[in-house]
Amino acid sequence: MKKRNPIISALYFALLLFLVFSLAVSLPGCAPEEEPAPTPTPEPAPDPDIDDDQAAEPLPATKEVVMIVEGMEEVVELTLHENQQLGYYIYIDEDRYQVKELNGTDKITPLPPADDLPEVFMEISRAEDISPADKASQLKAELEGNYEEVSEKEEVQSPLQGYYLYAAQGSQWDDLAVRYYLVEDAQGNSLVIKQQLFMETWEGHGARLDQMLEEFGIL
């Protein structure tokens, strides 16, 4: 009897195993199961009830600033005042000033009020449908009929960014002087900031009011 070549037998056996494995893989349900891909986690939808203002960091209720008044430095605690109707905020020295809201206008006056002296105040109101530059020109024309000296309007960066206008009745200690700052609000209208002083208060109240305006902003 003729003996079978062992090498050929091994090749036949390997071929048989390959065919069996290929057949098993091709049959339904016999292929190795693949792990399912992880389901992506959906991004949380933005809450429609939260607007940009609510998402922003809240303004601090108070802050300390260094003021220079009549050449002297002093640390002053200021308190936040917001007017949502006019769309602005400012920090006020509540030890020296009070704020009253009257007919859409904020009026900041000294504490205590001075008797028998010209009134000192800072008033903030809105002029609608007019730019700060045009409102400054309009105010200049009005002031020229009532004040001895009226400046040209000019753009300023300090104490805030906007237009500035100044007028004075004279140079005596009790002569009235006014200065205006005109800034644009979030709707494109003008916020009109009027300071009324008399000449003796220029370096006192005038300096304090201007330095409070450094903490002014649009809502």
Give me 124's structure tokens: 């903030």
Residue 41 has pLDDT above 80, yes or no: no
Return the beta strands (E) in the chain as ranges.
Answer: 62-69, 72-83, 88-92, 97-102, 105-110, 121-127, 149-150, 154-156, 162-168, 176-184, 190-198, 217-218
Residue 178 has pLDDT above 80, yes or no: yes
Look at the domain 62-218 and name its fold: Protein Transport Mog1p; Chain A (3.40.1000)
What 3-state class would DSSP assign to 13?
helix
Query: Domain residues of the chain, as ranges?
Result: 62-218
Q: What is the reported pLDDT for 177?
A: 97
| For range 190-218, the mean pLDDT | 97
Residue 25 has pLDDT above 90, yes or no: no
Which of 17-21, 26-30, 145-149 is the least confident region? 26-30
| Percent of the chain with pLDDT strictly greater than 90 | 70
Q: What is the pLDDT of residues 99-120, one digit of tens each?
A: 999 888 999 999 998 888 999 9
Higher-pLDDT residue of 140 and 57 is: 140
Q: What is the reported pLDDT for 32?
A: 52
| Buried-exposed string 117-133: b where 16+ CB fall within 10 A, e elsewhere | ebebbbbbbbbeebebe
Higher-pLDDT residue of 91 and 54 is: 91
> Helices marked H in the chain — which ranges?
6-26, 52-55, 132-143, 205-213
Q: What is the reported pLDDT for 113?
A: 86
CA distances from 38 to 5, 34, 35, 41, 162 (A): 53, 12, 9, 9, 56
Q: What single-letter DSSP state applies at residue 201?
A: G
Give the length of the chain.
219
Q: What is the reported pLDDT for 1?
A: 47
Question: Largest Cα–Cα distance of the chain, in whole Å?
Answer: 143
Q: What is the reported pLDDT for 75?
A: 97
Amino acid at 104: G
Residue 37 has pLDDT above 80, yes or no: no
Amino acid at 203: E
User: How much is the mean pLDDT over the chain?
Assistant: 86
Q: What is the reported pLDDT for 100?
A: 96
For residue 87, give the nearest of 194, 215, 184 by alpha carbon. 184
| For range 167-183, the mean pLDDT | 97
Residue 206 has pLDDT above 70, yes or no: yes
Q: What is the reported pLDDT for 116?
A: 87
Q: What is the reported pLDDT for 26?
A: 55
| For range 155-175, the mean pLDDT | 97
